[in-house]
Amino acid sequence: MQINLTGLGKRYNYEWIFRNLTYTFESGTAYAVLGHNGSGKSTLLTVVAGHNLASEGELTYSFGGKAIALDAAYRHLSLTAPYLELVEEFTLLEMLNFHSRFKPLRHGLSALQLVDRMGLQKSKHKYVKDFSSGMKQRLKLGLAIYSNSSMLLLDEPTTNLDQEGVAWYQEHVSQNRQDRLIIVGSNIQHEYSFCDQQLRISDYHTTPGK
């Protein structure tokens, strides 16, 4: 998987969030998108995911040397972010079965095996709406990390996680990073310490340092 950004820019109304971003993301590498609150990390991740249109420049994806249409890229990616909602009316097992109908799990994992990996065995019949915020975050991460996708986009991945949850995230993302393209949007060291490359979003602000 390769993603090429050429002169990419995004603005909301009259405000440019980033501009002139030329960069290549490649499989087998983990990237950290760094910047202060409001600097544009989430915006860049949603543009890269194809959920948000760029205002200028070009974004292209390729897989095994073949171009992928922008509207087909979602099949190859998993995204987790604080603003994405789970289906609260499902129990945990129902949620996993529902999700895996659209996005199969890695290595042929079953829903029950994923429950085990997430350490949520006691809650498999509990409604998602009754999960604590940390349990919901672990579920979102489990779905993203263990989906069979070659591109993993993690926006603020340890939001609401305690120390044990952070250790769980670090262990599972490390075990499942091989051959994948990973992009972490963060300003917390323990979320992106495993990353090979860093991209500072402020380098692409129109007013330097903003």
Ligand X SMILES: Nc1ncnc2c1ncn2[C@@H]1O[C@H](COP(=O)(O)OP(=O)(O)OP(=O)(O)O)[C@@H](O)[C@H]1O
Residues that bind ligand X (CB under 6 A): 12, 17, 35, 37-43
In the numeric block, the tokens 């109304």 are attached to 13
Element at 5 (helix H, strand E): strand 2-12
Structure tokens belonging to residue 121: 């065995």
Calpha distance 199→203 (Å, rounded): 8
Report in angstroms how near the CB of residue 60 gets to ligand X at its nearest: 22
- Minimal CA–CA distance to 181: which of 77, 71, 42? 77
Nearer to ligand X by C-beta: 39 or 123? 39
Strands 181-186 and 151-155: parallel
Q: How far apart are the first and last CA of the chain?
A: 32
Element at 60 (helix H, strand E): strand 56-63
Report in angstroms how near the CB of residue 191 gets to ligand X at its nearest: 11
Calpha distance 66→201 (Å, rounded): 28
Nearer to ligand X by C-beta: 43 or 147? 43
Report in angstroms how near the CB of residue 145 gets to ligand X at its nearest: 20
Q: Are 150 and 176 in contact (CB under 8 A)?
A: no
Calpha distance 82→184 (Å, rounded): 13
Nearer to ligand X by C-beta: 68 or 201? 201
Report in angstroms how near the CB of residue 195 gets to ligand X at its nearest: 16
Nearer to ligand X by C-beta: 43 or 123? 43
In the numeric block, the tokens 């499902």 are attached to 90
Nearer to ligand X by C-beta: 55 or 150? 55
Q: What is the DSSP string of 23-36?
A: EEEETT-EEEEE--
Nearer to ligand X by C-beta: 105 or 161? 161
